[in-house]
């Protein structure tokens, strides 16, 4: 039997919000809070039992990247409010220097306390939350998404919003609505690999610092004692020769990343490890995600065994926990009214309809297992056009976060969590404006949108905005070549 035919049935409508935000990750948090603060009835649906998306479910850490290479903060607004709240609760040190991938700043945090902070921020804004809920379909009439079909323990239900912000990370609402999309590289559709983050506890940090000084040649750029000592939170990257050696012996799976990358968290003796990796995973296919979960959880044990064997300070460490799900870097990218390109990212492009800035590197983990592309964060500050959030042929749906309309290479920069939060905030303000004005998402006043975002603390180019410069975050990359990190910059002469 190839298929069955379901009986026709009535689906109860459980909510009619002015704005529905689908997905509670970084983009969804920004969108829901911004829309609700704008005075419109806002509902957030999320498939897990708490918000945060990759911040909390996949335990992606740190929060990247808020500053350019001159120490100027270009991600502000709701994203910065969240960081400030975490600092107040002791869940983050805030923005600190990073000795790994030439990032202008990094923001390590405690994912567990972040869940509570995000819930409180949503409650204070007046957002109605519905957790443990999946989107399974959408109904479109004359270019308007009239309803979204959901499923949860209460059964199959419908929500009929006036406007929707798709922050699912995979453009699920857009795809169910018939929006055209692309996946991966143009030539073959291949996407970046998946990774399962895990946390290691019981680390002797003082011993680790001493080990790093004695074994600096195993680390990226061989940092000096002063660089190691001044790190407020250790950022560790290197070991590629030993990783390759242990792959050859069979101690490490051949698909494990070619280097050890980990970050000290604001929890005594705890580090976040970003080293597991698996290729050829489509995050929109359940069979692929299942295969990734099985393979990567086995890799966690292997990587931890390697770390305990080779890195000082980890001898008595233990696996603290791992992500609730694997981290997915790339799936769908919608076809929108405008496609952001890598040239625009590299050359600090500004736009009349720019609604958020990004400054993270073009960071592409190799779909085919070759060296990682990394251009260096903070070297350019570019704007994301509002048109990239508008799907073709729909008038009441915006997409925010990693699935916006961009090339595969540009996507390597816009996909990170700080940039996604800024995009979400812009989308939330935009749909609130459309709701008040009773117009389509294309008809709102872009100048008014930009003014409102600046008023809310968002940083945009070509606006009279005071700079916020942290002298401790001015980036010095004179000796950075990426050799011991297994990455390279193919665009270095193309800016």
Q: What is the pLDDT of residues 198-220, one digit of tens each?
A: 999 999 999 999 999 999 999 99
Distance CA 169, CA 179 (A): 15
In this model, does residue 329 exceed pLDDT 80? yes
Distance CA 361, CA 71 (A): 15
Least confident of 102-111, 386-395, 414-423, 444-453: 102-111
List the domain boundaries for the chain: 13-68+75-92+108-185+330-468, 198-328
Distance CA 455, CA 485 (A): 40
| Residue 386, token pair as written in the block | 């509002």
pLDDT of 252 reads 98
Cβ atoms of 109 and 119 within 8 Å: the answer is no
Percent over 90 (pLDDT), the chain: 91
pLDDT of 477 reads 61
Distance CA 327, CA 312 (A): 28
The sheet with strand 155-159 has its strands ordered as 13-15, 155-159, 144-152, 134-141
Average pLDDT over residues 122-133: 98
pLDDT of 480 reads 61
Distance CA 322, CA 299 (A): 11
Q: For all residues of the chain together, what is the average pLDDT? A: 95
Mark out the alpha helices in 93-171 (DSSP H runs): 111-125
Gyration radius (Cα) of the chain, Å:
22
**Residue bearing the bigger pLDDT, 6 or 321:** 321
pLDDT of 132 reads 98
Distance CA 300, CA 281 (A): 18
The candidate with the shortest Cα–Cα distance to 113, out of 297, 270, 232, is 270
pLDDT in tens, 40-62: 999 999 999 999 999 999 999 99
The candidate with the shortest Cα–Cα distance to 74, out of 494, 478, 465, 481, is 465
pLDDT of 478 reads 56
Average pLDDT over residues 24-28: 98
Cβ atoms of 394 and 177 within 8 Å: the answer is yes
pLDDT of 292 reads 98
Average pLDDT over residues 113-124: 98
pTM, 2 dp: 0.97
In this model, does residue 20 exceed pLDDT 80? yes
| Residue 94, token pair as written in the block | 């805030």
pLDDT of 494 reads 56
Q: Which neighbouring-strand residues pair with 19?
A: 42, 163
In this model, does residue 410 exceed pLDDT 70? yes
Average pLDDT over residues 469-480: 79
Q: What is the DSSP string of 183-248?
A: ES-TTT---PPBB--EEEE---HHHHHHHHHHTGGGBTT---HHHHHH-SS-EEEE-HHHHHHHHH
Average pLDDT over residues 402-425: 98
pLDDT in tens, 229-261: 999 999 999 999 999 999 999 999 999 999 999
- Asked if residue 303 has a cis previous peptide bond (ω within 30° of 0), the answer is no
| Residue 373, token pair as written in the block | 């592309």
Place domain 13-68+75-92+108-185+330-468 in its CATH homologous superfamily.
FAD/NAD(P)-binding domain (3.50.50.60)
Confidence of residue 364 (pLDDT cuts 50, 70, 90): very high
In this model, does residue 73 exceed pLDDT 80? yes
pLDDT of 493 reads 62
Cβ atoms of 69 and 81 within 8 Å: the answer is no
In this model, does residue 284 exceed pLDDT 60? yes
In this model, does residue 482 exceed pLDDT 90? no
In this model, does residue 481 exceed pLDDT 80? no
pLDDT of 368 reads 80
| Residue 370, token pair as written in the block | 């070759």
Confidence of residue 369 (pLDDT cuts 50, 70, 90): low
């Amino acid at each position: 039997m190839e298929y069955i035919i379901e009986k026709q049935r009535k689906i109860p409508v459980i909510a009619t919000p002015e704005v529905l935000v689908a997905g509670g990750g970084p983009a969804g948090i920004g969108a829901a809070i911004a829309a609700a603060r704008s005075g419109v009835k806002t509902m957030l649906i999320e498939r897990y039992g708490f918000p945060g998306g990759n911040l909390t479910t996949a335990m992606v850490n740190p929060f990247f990247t808020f500053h350019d290479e001159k120490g100027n903060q270009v991600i502000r607004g709701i994203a910065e409010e969240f960081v400030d709240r975490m600092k107040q609760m002791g869940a983050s040190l805030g923005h600190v220097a990073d000795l790994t991938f030439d990032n202008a700043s990094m923001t390590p945090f405690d994912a567990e306390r972040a869940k509570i902070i995000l819930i409180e921020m949503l409650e204070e804004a007046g957002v109605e939350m519905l957790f443990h809920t999946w989107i399974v379909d959408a109904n479109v009439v004359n270019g308007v998404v009239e309803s979204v079909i959901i499923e949860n323990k209460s059964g199959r239900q419908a929500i009929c919003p006036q406007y929707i912000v798709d922050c699912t990370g995979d453009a699920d609402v857009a795809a169910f609505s018939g929006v055209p999309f692309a996946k991966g590289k143009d030539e073959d559709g291949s996407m970046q690999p998946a990774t399962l983050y895990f946390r290691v506890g019981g680390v002797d940090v003082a011993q680790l610092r001493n080990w790093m000084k004695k074994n600096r040649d195993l680390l990226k750029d061989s940092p000096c004692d002063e660089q190691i000592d001044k790190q407020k939170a250790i950022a560790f990257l290197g070991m590629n020769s030993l990783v390759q050696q242990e792959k050859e012996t069979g101690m490490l799976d051949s698909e494990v990343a070619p280097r050890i990358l980990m970050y000290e968290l604001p929890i005594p003796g705890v580090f976040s490890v970003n080293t597991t990796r698996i290729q050829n995973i489509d995050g929109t296919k359940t069979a692929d995600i299942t295969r990734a979960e099985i393979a990567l959880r086995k890799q966690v044990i292997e990587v931890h065994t390697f770390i305990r064997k080779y890195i000082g300070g980890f001898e008595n460490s233990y696996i603290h926990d791992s992500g609730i799900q694997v981290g997915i870097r790339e799936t769908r990218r919608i076809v929108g009214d405008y496609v952001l390109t890598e040239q625009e990212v590299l050359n600090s492009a500004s736009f009349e309809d720019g609604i958020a800035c990004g400054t993270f590197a073009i960071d592409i983990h190799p779909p085919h297992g070759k060296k990682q592309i990394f251009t260096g964060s903070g070297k350019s500050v570019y704007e994301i056009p509002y048109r990239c959030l508008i799907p073709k042929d729909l008038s009441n749906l915006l997409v925010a976060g990693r699935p916006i309309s961009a090339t595969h290479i540009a996507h390597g920069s816009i996909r990170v969590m700080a940039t996604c939060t800024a995009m979400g905030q812009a989308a939330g303000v935009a749909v609130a404006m459309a709701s008040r004005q009773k117009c389509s998402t294309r008809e709102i006043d872009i100048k008014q949108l930009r003014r409102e975002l600046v008023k809310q603390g968002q940083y945009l180019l070509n606006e009279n905005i005071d700079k916020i410069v942290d002298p401790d975050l001015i980036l010095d990359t004179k000796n950075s070549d990426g050799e011991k990190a297994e990455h390279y910059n193919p665009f270095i002469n193309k800016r």
